[in-house]
Chains A and B, each alone.
Chain A
C-alpha cells in the first residue's frame, strides 16, 4: 500500500500499478507509476513546502499548473511544479528551497 496513514491524499482506485521508490527530504518514499509528484508526496506526507510568508505549510491548491503553490526542489536545486511533474523512480525531493535548507554561514 502506498497510501500511508500519515498522508493527506487517499487513493480510491488504480492501486495495482507498479511501485516507484523515491525520497522526500532524505526519507524513503513510495509512489505508483503514473502518479504526479504532488500525489505521490501527499499520499505520504501532509505538505509540499512552507509558505515563504510564515503562514504555515502548503500542500498545493489548483492541481492544474495555475497557482504555483506546489513548488518543490530536487537535491540538485532544480525547482519542480509538483502537480504537473510525473513521478520518476529515484527522485530525491526536498520540501525546502536550497537556500532555505542550508544555514547561512554569516
Chain B
C-alpha cells in the first residue's frame, strides 16, 4: 500500500555546506534522494572546517589541530557525495517566498521550488561594542581565525584578544602556535564563574579538557591572560587605526596594552535571517539574552516544510551541528513518509541533550556582558556601519522607540551594511537599559531580503523546479 504522504520525487534544498548541511545531505543521499546544496562559499566545510584555497600546503594537523580527524572526515564525506547531489557553490540564498528560495550566483538571480528546506546557515560572531571599535584594526574574533586558517596571515603584529568564551582562548592559542604575537587575552568573565559552571561543563569532558589545555599552552607561552576585566576603550587615530587598548582589571585598576590589532568576540549568534523570512517563530533565551528560531529536537521549525540545523538554529558547536544535520534530514524523510531507523533518532537526540547541557554551562561560565551596554558613554559608536552612537540611540528611546525595529527606523541603527548582525544585540541592550524595560520586550531586528546586500542590476533568470 502506498503511503499517501509519500512525495515521489521530493525536491529538498539544503542551505549551507558546513558540518550540519553536509551530514543532512549525506543522510538524504543514503535514502535515495538527490538534494540541492547551496553555499555562498567557494568550497565546502563551513566555518570551522573551512578549506584553505587551492595551492596552500598546510596539513590537516597544522590547520585544524585537535579537530583534524573530524575535518578530514567531513571533507571526505562531502567528496563522496559530489556526484549524488546538486551542489551549487558561490550561490547566495537571499530570500524565501512561500515554498520558493531565491538565489544569486555571480550577478545572476534564480529561484528554486522546494518541498522541504533545511536551513544550515551557521553563525557569526556575537559582538558587544566598546568605545573605538570602529577603528581600523579591530576585527571580529572569527575574522582573526579566518585570516589565519584560510589565508595564513595574522590580523596584526601585536594582537589583543578581547571578549569572552572558549573561542577567545582557542584563536589566541592558534595565533601563538602560528608564531604571531599575542599581546594579551582579556576576558570579561571572571575565573570563578568557570569553576561554578563545572557541573554542566562536565557533560562534555573531552571538550572541557581541550579547553584547559589551551589555557595552559597560552600561559606556558607567557601570554598575559586577564579575567573579569571591563573594557574601556580601543584607542588610536582615525587614519592609522588601533594603537592601544584600555581596560579595568578585576581589581578595578585601569591599564593599557599596546597593540595594532584587536580581535573582539563574545560567542556566536545564529544567522537566522532565512528562518525569519520563512516566517518561523522565534523564542527568547533568558540565559543568553537573545532570540533563537523555535524548533523541535529533530529540527522542525514552526513552519511546515522548513527545517533548522546546526549553529544557525542554536549555537551548540560543530559536533552538535553534525548530529542536528543528520537528525533534521531524518525528520524531513519521516515527514515525507519514508521509513527511518528509530534507533538513530534516539541516539542523536541523546547526543543533542548533552550538547545543550554543555551550551548552558558555557553560557554560565562566559556570560554575555549585558550591563556594558547600559554603561556606554554617549559617544560610543554602537552601529559601526552608520556611525550611530549610544547617545543617538538613547535619544530615539526618549521619543518613544522601545521596540528595536521602531528604534531602527528612528535612529537607523541596524539599517547599515551589516543589517544589524553586529550591533543588533547591543542596541537592544542599550534600549532596554535606557527605557527601563526588559530586553525581551525590545525584541530583535527582523531579517529582510536580500539577507546580504548585492550589486543592484543583477540579472534575473529562469525559474527552476516543478
Which residues on A are within 8 Å of B, measured CB to CB? 8-15, 17-18, 33-36, 39, 43, 46-47, 51, 53-69, 71, 79, 86
Contact = CB atoms under 8 A, between A and B. Distances in A.
A57 B57 contact: no
Contacts of A39: 147, 151, 153
B422 A10 contact: no
Interface in B382-404: 384-387
A63 B137 CA distance: 12
Given A55-B381, A59-B137, A68-B453, A12 B148 contact: yes
Contacts of B300: none
Contacts of B47: 64
Contacts of B385: 67-69
B156 interface: yes
B57 A9 contact: no
A70 to B, nearest CB: 10
Contacts of A56: 134-136, 237-239, 241
A33 B241 CA distance: 28
B331 interface: no
A51 B383 CA distance: 12
B381 to A, nearest CB: 7
Contacts of A60: 139, 143
Main secondary structure of the interface of A (DSSP, over half): loop
B261 to A, nearest CB: 7
Given A8-B260, A56-B134, 19 more contacts: A9-B147, A9-B156, A10-B153, A34-B55, A36-B151, A46-B137, A57-B241, A58-B134, A59-B136, A60-B139, A60-B143, A61-B422, A62-B139, A66-B124, A66-B418, A67-B417, A67-B421, A68-B418, A71-B417
A46 to B, nearest CB: 6
B57 A14 contact: yes
Contact of A65 (B40, B134, B241, B384): B40
Contacts, number: 136
A99 to B, nearest CB: 15
B146 A17 contact: no
Interface string B87-99: 0000000000000
Interface string B141-163: 01100111001111111000000
A63 B422 CA distance: 13
Interface in B44-64: 47, 52-58
Contact of A53 (B139, B239, B386): B386
Main secondary structure of the interface of B (DSSP, over half): loop
Contacts of B7: none
A81 to B, nearest CB: 9
A61 B138 contact: yes
A55 B260 contact: no
Nearest to A53: B387
A12 B179 contact: yes
B125 interface: yes
Q: Ordered nearest first, which 9 A-B pairs have the shortest CB separation?
A: A56-B238, A68-B417, A53-B387, A63-B143, A14-B152, A59-B136, A34-B53, A13-B152, A67-B418
B320 to A, nearest CB: 20
Output the residue of A18, A60, A61, A68 with the most chain B CB within 10 A.
A61
B155 A8 contact: yes
Given A12-B153, A66-B421, A68-B417, A57 B58 contact: no
Given A14-B152, A56-B237, A51 B55 contact: no
Contact of B140 (A33, A54, A61, A68): A61
A66 B180 CA distance: 25
Contact of B124 (A10, A12, A64): A64
A57 B260 CA distance: 14
Contacts of A61: 138-140, 143, 384, 422
A106 B211 CA distance: 62
Contacts of B384: 61, 69
A99 B466 CA distance: 45
A17 B124 contact: no
Contact of B134 (A10, A15, A46, A51): A51
A8 B136 contact: yes
Contacts of B271: 66
A71 B153 CA distance: 20
